Copies of this chain bind each other. A is one copy, B any other.
Amino acid sequence: MQALRLGIIGVGLIGGSLAKDLKLRGFANHVFGVDLNKENLELAKKIEIVDRHGPLTEVVKNVDIIVIATPVNVISKILPTILDLISDDVTVTDMGSTKKAIALSVKGHPKRDQYVASHPMAGTENSGAGAALSGLFDHKAAVICDQNESSDHHLNRVRLMYQTLKMRIIEMTSFEHDQHAAFVSHLSHISSFVLATTVLDKEKNKETIFNLAGGGFESTVRLAKSSPEMWAPIFEQNREDVLIALEAYREHLDRFYESLKNENYEETKKIMEESNKIRKVLSKINTNSTREES
A-side interface residues toward B, CB under 8 Å?
121-125, 140-141, 143, 168, 170, 180-181, 183-185, 187-203, 206, 208-226, 228, 231-232, 235-236, 239, 242-243, 245-254, 256-257, 260-261, 263, 265, 268-269, 271-279, 281-282, 284-285, 291-293
Contacts of A275 in B (CB 8 A): 192-194, 196-197, 200, 224
Q: Give the docked Cα–Cα distance between A292 and B219 (Å).
A: 8
Contact yes or no, A197 B257, CB < 8 A = no
Other CB < 8 Å A-B pairs besides A193-B256, A253-B253, 16 of them?
A: A122-B214, A124-B215, A183-B203, A187-B199, A192-B275, A200-B277, A202-B245, A218-B282, A218-B285, A219-B222, A220-B220, A221-B282, A224-B278, A243-B261, A246-B257, A293-B293
- In the assembled complex, the CB of A224 is this many whole angstroms from the nearest CB of chain B, namely 4
Contact yes or no, B235 A268, CB < 8 A = yes
24 A-B pairs within 8 Å (CB atoms) are namely A122-B215, A123-B216, A141-B211, A168-B211, A181-B212, A183-B198, A183-B202, A184-B212, A185-B216, A191-B220, A193-B271, A194-B253, A194-B256, A201-B248, A201-B252, A210-B281, A213-B281, A220-B223, A221-B278, A225-B282, A228-B273, A232-B268, A235-B268, A246-B257
